Amino acid sequence: MLHVVKIGVGVRDIAHLAEIQGERLAREGTLRHLTRFFPKRAAEIVGQGSLYWVLTGAIVVRQRILDIRPDTKPDGSACTALVLDAALVPVEARLMRPFQGWRYLSAEDAPADLRTARSADGDDPLPPALHRALRELCLI
């Protein structure tokens, strides 16, 4: 299994990504992320890999990649569509330096999913920004 990591340019947080994608899904009926190059290792990704999003300098959320197919941008130029599951799965925040395009991410190097259930005392999991700040301070 292989994953892809991509920077969400201009996306503030997971809620903002959900808002953007919700509007796109309502408008287009399919949730696609368009990118320039077709992954040579697409067979290792489709149906089992995820797109890990880097938001404000850290990997914080992932989406399953359902399909990878040739597509066309609104200007008519050729591109590749990563067809995504609408479910956003928060992951343990991991700082990541800026890069262009997308990168492969091995299953061994992928951050673990955050626990989504409430704890016994009813508290929600840490908000992503707080989690990132605590990691930067080496407290978690």
- Quote the CA–CA distance of 44 and 135 in Å, as a whole number: 31
Residues 105 and 85: their CA atoms lie apart, in Å, by 18
- All residue ranges of the chain with pLDDT < 50 are 117-120
- pLDDT computed for residue 120 by the predictor: 46
pLDDT digits (tens, 9 = 90+) for 113-131: 987 544 445 555 667 677 6
Average pLDDT, the chain: 89
